[in-house]
Amino acid sequence: MENNLSYRTKHNAKVIAAQWGKSPNDRADWYKIEDKADGAEILIYDVIGFPFVEAKQFIKDLNAIKAKTITVRINSPGGDVFDGVAAYNALKNHPAKITTRIEGLAASIASVIALAGDEVHAYANTMYMIHDPWVMAVGKQEDLRSIADVLEKIGNQLADIYTGKTGLEADTIKEMMHTETWMTAQEGKDLGFVDKVLDGEGKTAKYNLKNIYSNVPENLSFEAQLKTFTAREIERVLIEAGAPRGYAKMVAARGCTGVIDDHRDDDEDAIINTLLQTIKGEKR
């Protein structure tokens, strides 16, 4: 395993973070743990693992939990495969009864972590996605052949996890991975990935997924997600930027569709920053 982590350089950290629209200096906590009287809760709501907080710290924090039940709430676009598999194994081996709950999106390696639960729950409006592992690589032909061999091994290991949960044939799972398969909660249940579909609605994913994946459903496009901003949310941002309350209410009532159309490739923070700059007079 350690030999496969040679990619964790400062340069690659910048490249990988940028792919997710982040900086490695963010040191984002992709998980939060809260011990409660009636059980522990783990929130996984961001990009998993390197170049941010690595699985070693997650496992240390997880092993400190003494509760008899753990609920793992998931809304993640994926992340580092080695950190994700390490987190999956740590959860599987924890003595507590674990329920994983998909609250928005369980894509890529997050779809593996979701299967660590003794029971896998998902809100009806959530999505689940599996795909072949991939990597950004530069090197000589020998280097690239070696990387391809490693990816094949990783893919087979992930397929084993999926088949172990669903009972589907390995060839079926591998084809689903190869074609990047997106599933609704009900589709995931029908295929054996999900044990129970929950009533109600989970969270909106709000990730720029088209920069990462090939077959993102239209309802998960970043533009569609941004249109879920409420008037109250837009008004709050404008007031925080110093706009008069009446002006903020007027702009919020009109929505931010125009801003979205002008920034179709930007992330949510860029959209908000544009609004802030405009109100402050920094952008004309």
* 221 annotated active-site: no
Please confirm whether the linkage preceding 51 is cis (ω < 30° from 0): yes
Q: What is the DSSP string of 62-118?
A: HHT---SEEEEEEEE--B-HHHHHHHHHHHHHSSSEEEEEEEEEEETHHHHHHTTSS
Catalytic residue among 6, 76, 108, 111: 108
The catalytic position among 131, 146, 221, 263 is 131
**Residue 180 burial (C-beta neighbours within 10 Å; 0-12, 13-18, 19+):** middle
Query: Is residue 76 among the annotated active site residues?
Result: no
Query: In which element (H, E) is residue 224 found?
Result: helix 222-226
Rounded distance, CA 13 to CA 25, Å?
Answer: 9
Rounded distance, CA 116 to CA 138, Å? 33
Report DSSP letters for 28-50, one per residue: ---EEEEEETTEEEEEE-S-BST
Residues in Cβ contact with 110 at an 8 Å cutoff, skipping those fewer than 6 apart: 44, 48, 74, 76, 77, 78, 79, 84
Catalytic residues: 108, 131
